[in-house]
Each structure stands twice: as structure tokens, then as C-alpha cells.
Amino acid sequence: MVFLHPLSDFIDKYTVSNSSPSYYYQGRCPQTGELLKLPRTSLVEAIAHNLMQYLANDDLYCREGKMYGILLVELPTGEQRVIKAFSGLLNGNSIVEGWVPPIPGRDEVALDEARTLAELEAIKQEIITLKQLPQRQQYETLKSEFDIKLQTMSERHQNYKQQRYEKRQILCETLTGEALIIALEQLDEESRQHGIERRYLKRQRDEALQPLQQIIETADIHIRELKQQRKQLSRQLQTQMHAAYTLVNFLGQSQSLQQLIPGGLPTGTGDCCAPKLLHYAATHNLKPLAMAEFWWGASSVNQDKIQGEFYGACVERCQPLMGFLLSGLRPNPPEVLPILYEDEWLIAVNKPPGLLSVPGRYSDRQDSVLTRLHHLLPDGMAIASVHRLDQETSGILLLARDRSSHRQLSQQFQQRQIYKVYEAILSGLLTIDQGVIELPLWADPENRPYQKVDKEHGKPSLTHFRVIAREKDYTRVEFIPLTGRTHQLRVHAADVRGLGITILGDRLYGCVNNANRLYLHARELRFQHPQTGETLHLQTDTPF
């Protein structure tokens, strides 16, 4: 079975830009504690996009939603190839032509797995039968009927009660002595008869419902017992599978999932794309260069995945294995950042697309301009970011080397004294040549980091724009933002109240073109030097 695919099956590699990785699969080596990384590059993303097109044309891959992954590898000869994997089973099959096989181990527990799965299915069917007992519907029907009768009786008795009240008032005004006593006793007797009637109907209800209720309660107890039994069987099978699944890393070390994570792992660990791909590469003398995982197909309510979106290592199943799986791998060091300006107070770099300005909250988002400078420069730990560029945006990023400079530059940004120029390519033709966009922007709390126009909650944002050139179906535009809201230029371009045309490659805001990056570049920055007072005008060439 052929698992190694030439790059030509997916893409012309010479047309893909060599931009910085947009994500790193990473983990610490269990022996040395060294942080090991495997990037997701623009090349591997382009290969993945081509694979998505292949999946879209075959109904086999649209029947169920799941993660797919590709790994770009290097053969001992230096040639590059691609291997691909799917998570779990594909339409009930663990082995499919052209996809890497599952991690060894499932065959060892195949009989136990089949027997346990049959028991689990039998439990499932028994639970369904117990939930569909005819007595449940009988109980609900009878209860509803008695409720209606009781309600009707209650309304009738309430009317009689009101009538008795009115009769008592009249009797007290018209009768006296023995005649009054006899008349009032007759009214009281009527009230007692109504009470007897109501209690009799309730007793009839209880006699009819209690036997059914007893059957239902007994069934519910049995359902809880069956669910507990099902849970124990699932855990037992998972423990057997974790003990049988054996992973190999690039040091040639072999360990079972149970040995790697003795505290236990959730169901499905070992069946994800990343472990499958890395294990296959390690056991076939293939050097990993880059990896990407994406979702394809429908998403269930619990998964909340978007078709065609890239995802990193899942926190529960894959991330705990990354340190072991990557052990022995020697990735290329991070690329050196081009420095545009540097003195004892400031440093300005030309940030590549795909690199964060500052580190993120989680361990897999630590690679950034700031962290690289922290490690590369003698005074790196004192450097602080003055502003930020989106991860996908390239261009001039300014940082301060001392607190005083940082404070003064931050004030200039806050007071809108910094002159900024961006260049972008729009994914369509813009008919007007220049203008101003002014829209209130607000972060959508249900879909961060997505920003939207909101007149009630939004903060004001202002952008000047000018068309530089029109090229086939695209428009090259110069943006001069006067405010600095998150995703300001991207929203001003995409929203119909702005330009109504997305920036090329901006999938977050609806661009459908298969671009290899976000075509937005911070081209110029002009400001007053915080220490010397001179005006600095930094410029860099647009890379597209």
C-alpha cells in the first residue's frame, strides 16, 4: 500500500511563499526537558488546502466530520514527500488505501474490543427498550386525564363555593333561629360532599398511577445500573487499548500509552492524526518537516468545529504525547528577524506573516517577535512591545528597550500621533479611488477575536484609503488608519458599510480565495523619537 505521496500530487512547491509558521506542535522531551517544535508552515497549509479540494469531490469523506492531517517529510535521500492520516475510523475502517495505518496495538485487543463493543451495543439497546416502555406513555396519558378531571372538578367546586358564600349572606339577612341553623348546615354538608368527591378522585388517580410509577422507577434504577456497567466496560476496554498501543519516537524509543500517561487518558487517545503521522514517520526513517491538521465534514454540537479550518494538537489527547513523539527530532532554528532600525532605546523589526507580535496565553503560542528578541539580544529581557500587528499581518513592529521610551511611545500611539501606512491587496475590484471609512467596532464576545460593526457598543475607528493599482480581479490599496482598533483595516475592508471587499487571504472575514497568507503589510511608520525628539520615518518594501 502506497503511503508516501510526491509533492506534485498536491501543489507546485515553487509557488508557495516561505513565510513564518502559523503554529507549532510542541512538547518537552521527557529526558532533557528541551522544548521541541514542529511547525505548520504556509507550504504544508497549501498542501492541506489541495487535499481539502480532493475531499470535497468524494462523498466518502463528507459522510462524517473528522480531523485530517498531513505531514511533510524528508527521505534519507533528501527528497520531500507527503503522508496523510484521518482520526479514528473512516466510515468504520481503520485501514484505507493511501492513508497511514493506525498505531499498532488495536489488533492485539481486537477480540476483546469486538466482544466489549457487542456488550456495549446490547446495553445500549436494553436502555433504549427501558426508556420506551409502554407504561411510560400509559402513565403520562392517565396522569393527563386525571389532571384534566381534577382541574374541571376544582373549577366546578370553586363556583359552588362562591354560590354558597352568597347564599350564606342572604340567609343571615333573611332567616333567624332554627331555620337559619338548618339552612347553614345544608350548605356545610354540600361543602363536605365536594371534599369527599375530590378525595375519591385523587384516590382513583393514585390507584391507577402507582403500579405504573413503580414499574417506571424500577426501570430507571436498572437504566442507571446499565449506564454504570457501560461506563466500567468502556474504561476497561480503554485501559486494555492504552496498554496495547505502542508509540515510537525519533530516538527509537518505544512506549505504550499507559506507560506514557499512567494517570489515564480520554477515549480516542492514539487515534488522532498527529500521533499516527509522527509514529509512522519515526518507524520508517522519515524526517518530519511540517505538519497540519484540519476539520472536514459536518460538526456535531459537542465538537463545534469549522470545515476547512486548521487546528492544533488537541489538549486532552495529543498534547500530552507531543514531548515523547518529537524526541529525537531536530527542527530548524527560528528564522532571524530582519531589523529595520536599532539604537540604545528602540528596535524596529520587519515582522513576517504568521508570527505573533507577543507570546500568547498557552504553551503552543509562545513563539513571537518579543520572545525571539528576548533570546537573541543581550538586553532582550528588557524589551517591551509598544504596539501589535495581527499574527497574519507582516511589516514594521516597534519595540522599546527601556521603560521611559516605552511610556513615551505608548502615549504617542494613544494620542494618535503615530503616522502609519499599510498596503493591502483586496480580493476584488474597488470602483472608487479614495475615501474615508468611519465605523464603530466591537469585539463579538461569542466569536473572539472576530470584530464587527456595532453602533450601540462599538468604539469609533477611522481609516483613510487610496487605490494604488488595479491588477486583473484584485485591487492594491494603501490604508492610513487614524485609530488602532483590533482588526480595524480587515473589518473596514470586508464590511459592506466600508469597502465591501475582503483583504486577500482573510478567511476570518470571509475571503474564499485560496491565498497562502493575509495580504496586509505595515509599510511605513513615522513618529517622534522618545529620547532625541527627532522624527523617524521607517519604511519597508511590501513583499507581495
Q: Which of 271, 367, 390, 495 is catalytic?
A: 390
Helix orientation angle between 319-326 and 273-283, rounded to the nearest 10 degrees? 10
DSSP string, 153-168: HHHHHHHHHHHHHHHH
Radius of gyration of the chain (CA): 35
Q: Which helix (H) or strand (E) holds 310?
A: strand 310-311
Q: Is 390 a catalytic residue?
A: yes
| Cα–Cα dist 388/237, whole Å | 49
| Cα–Cα dist 318/270, whole Å | 8
3-state SS, residue 303: coil
Q: Are 231 and 154 in contact (CB under 8 A)?
A: no
461 forms beta bridges with 439
423 forms beta bridges with 478, 521
Peptide bond into 449 cis (omega under 30): yes
3-state SS, residue 397: strand
DSSP-assigned letter for residue 378:
T
**Closest to 61 in 3D by CA, of 317, 312, 307:** 307
> Other C-beta atoms within 10 Å of 70: how many?
24
Residue 362's alpha-carbon distances to 102, 218, 315, 369, 394, in angstroms, are: 29, 48, 10, 16, 22
> Other C-beta atoms within 10 Å of 275: how many?
26
| Cα–Cα dist 184/163, whole Å | 13
- Residue 213, burial from CB neighbour count under 10 angstroms (0-12, 13-18, 19+): middle
DSSP string, 468-520: EEEETTEEEEEEEESS--TTHHHHHHHSTTTT--PBTT-GGGT--S--SS--E
Q: Are 535 and 529 in contact (CB under 8 A)?
A: yes
DSSP string, 48-94: HHHHHHHHHT-GGGTSS-EEEEEEEEE-TTS-EEEEEEESS-BTTBS
77 forms beta bridges with none
Which residues are part of the catalytic machinery?
390
